[in-house]
Amino acid sequence: MIKGYLVNNAHKYASKWLVLLIDVCMIAVSFVLSYIIRFNLTLDFDIDKLIIQLPIISLISMSSFVFTGSHKGVVRHTGVRDVYNIFNAICLSSILLISMVLFNRELGVFENFTVPLGIIIIHSLLSFVALTSSRYVFKSLYNNFMARDFKVNKNVLIYGAGESGILTQNALVNHTKSRVRVVGYVDEDLKKVGKQINGVKVFHKEILTKDFILKNSISEVIFSIQNIDPKDLKILVEGLVDFPVQVKIVPPVEQWINGELKVSQIKQIQIEDLLDRAPISIKNSKISEEVKNKVVLVTGGAGSIGSEIVRQVCTYDYKSLIIIDQAESALYDLQQELKQNGFHNFIPIVGDVRDKNRLNNLFQEHRPNIVFHAAAYKHVPLMEYNSYEAIKINIAGTKVVADLSMANNVDKFILISTDKAVNPTNVMGATKRIAEMYVSCMQQEGRTKFITTRFGNVLGSNGSVIPLFKKQIEKGGPLTVTHAEVTRFFMTIPEASQLVLEAGAMGDGGEIFIFDMGESVKIFDLAKNMIKLSGLKYPEEIDIKISGLRPGEKLYEELLANGENTLPTYHKKIMISKTRELDYTLVRSKIDELCVSNMFFNGSTVSLMKEIVPEFISSNSELCSLDKISSKDTKSISLKKVL
């Protein structure tokens, strides 16, 4: 009967007034019991006085409950906070009752109204125990009779026996739509191992074996450690991906809803969580000082890196922010996002960096002090046989923005480059290297400081490998990897953008800043881990297909060209590349020739690019025929050759 009532009313919550009425009734019963206990379990006391006192006691208790709000909690989710509210209500009612008794003794407002101190103490203790116990009894009945009808039991392990782990257990146990049994905590702290928290044993991480997981029928391992080092997390997760368990993670505290963890926020761990980098800590950052009261212009401002630069600049005290992008929809989305976040001092402009007249008007109208040039084509296979467009935007577009920056006395011009510009094997990388060279030439011309930043792939950017793998997994596979040994560097978008801002602030002009990309990641291993983290088996359920290197693609990316070394800066993740000397006059004239040739669809543009960048040796491409010497010979020559 009880079970049927609970199941039928599972979606309802008891009225707070009903809870208040029940609490007051329990107070009245406790008051009668306190008299019986005080008089040695007999009725040898004045019952008439008791009858007079009961309504007053009930009224005082009701006032205390309403004042503290102890009746407003959801009984089925009773926790420490609810017990604390009950304690406050009992203390308040006891104080009011004692005050009333003492006041009545002096003034005699209520004839024969007095309650012995012993009765008040016994009543307070009984009331607290009764109210607390009743809530936990109902909660237990609810969990045992009703919750089982929602979902099948599942056993979980919580990795982390700290505050976050305890809150995770509470969230799981109190969740109405699942029946979860926490088998244990896992922790590396030997002081905690072997002890119990909320009745749950703490194990050492050595128990995370396949036998233990199968023996205890564990279906989930939840990582609940705040600020865990990504490298440590990667090692721990990789030790579990071959086991028949789902691996989940608790988000950072700042992402909890109103400071409280919800079960819905405990998500299956993603590959980004393992590739994520430790948070950047920049002491004495120069960014705030650099952009204060300045007009900042960002080209490609709706792209992956450009939009994040915009978001971060918005947090500083700039004068105005000009955002240029030719992608109308992406720019509109960014505009709405910034407005919703309370940022208003920005100007979104739909425009093309190749349109010199349009950009010239913008420069003269807004007079930017700092320019971040992020607009570029970046997809290697597409640009390999679309060299006209690659040259037009990556080189000619950079040339337009750089020339206008110089002509309008911009303080700093920061070029966003790529590791594919290093010893390029494709058209896209070569165009970015030529853009770097043009910026170096412009540094020799005037007061504008031209700065280049160079880094590798960013996690989650448009067209990157991880979103591609996710789509392939959703379709049932296979995952396509170009080569079993291919590796790539990865960096988060916020980290890359913050380092761009920091490098721009510290630059004095002429530098190529190299970012510490950490260790390179083997893409084949990345694909396998993504399959396993999705709860699927490799290769039984989803396989990996080797598709072959795409045109212009490298096996390994580099951050330094032959003959380049680095110098340290005050930030350990930012280094300065010691580049080779350039014949600036010759290089600039060649770049001008390239841009003019490209305007007339001259078929010799790629050959001209190879003249400007001798280390540009095509790979796995039809353009290899343009390389007149073998890559082996070129490599030995490029070590000696000075541009």
Residue closest to 530 by CA, chosen among 273, 159, 214, 278: 273
Q: Are the C-beta atoms of residues 542 and 476 closer than 8 Å to each other?
A: yes
Residue 577, token pair as written in the block: 């590349």
Which neighbouring-strand residues pair with 223? 159, 249
Whether omega for the bond prior to residue 478 falls within 30 degrees of 0, making it cis, is yes
**Cβ 424 vs Cβ 389: under 8 Å:** no
DSSP 392: I
Q: Three-class SS string for 137-205? A: HHHHHHHHHHHHHCCCCEEEEEECCCHHHHHHHHHHHHCCCCCEEEEEEECCCCCCCCCEECCEEEECH
Q: How far apart are CA 65 and CA 25, in angstroms?
A: 13
Relative to beta strand 320-325, strand 346-350 is: parallel
Q: Helices (DSSP H) in 464-604: which residue ranges?
A: 465-474, 493-506, 523-533, 584-599
Q: Which helix (H) or strand (E) holds 232?
A: helix 230-238
**Nearest CA to 235 among 223, 246, 226?**
223
Radius of gyration of the chain (CA): 35
Determine the Cα–Cα distance for residues 106 and 443; give it in Å rounded to an integer. 93
Active site residue 635: no
Q: Single out the catalytic residue among 420, 432, 554, 590.
A: 420
- What does the CA dihedral 252, 257, 263, 266 come to, rounded to 10 degrees? -30
Q: How far apart are CA 191 and CA 201, in angstroms?
A: 13
What value, to the nearest 5°, has the Cα angle with vertex 190 and ends 186 and 215? 35
- Contact assessment for residue 253 and residue 226, using Cβ atoms and an 8 Å cutoff: yes
Sequence-distant (6+) residues with CB within 8 A of 109 are 103
Check if the beta carbon of residue 439 is closer than 8 Å to that of residue 421.
Answer: no
> Which helix (H) or strand (E) segment is 297 a member of?
strand 295-299
The helix (run of H) or strand (run of E) holding residue 106 is: helix 80-107
What residues are paired with 604 via a beta bridge?
none
Instruction: State the residue for tokens 């995952």.
Output: 479
At 108, which amino acid appears? G
Tell me how far apart the alpha carbons of residues 65 and 15 are, in angstroms, rounded to a whole number.
14
CA distances to 342, 504, 515 from 497, rounded to whole Å, are: 21, 11, 11
Token pair of 65 as six digits:
């409950």
Distances in whole angstroms, Cα of residue 63 to Cα of each of 33, 59, 93, 297, 305: 21, 6, 8, 62, 59
End-to-end CA distance of the chain: 89
Nearest to 557 by CA among 509, 522, 512: 522
Using alpha carbons, select from 164, 163, 206, 159 the residue that is nearest to residue 183: 159
The span from the CA of 461 to the CA of 17, in Å, is 53
In angstroms, rounded to a whole number, what is the distance separating the alpha carbons of residues 420 and 398? 17
Residues catalogued as catalytic:
420
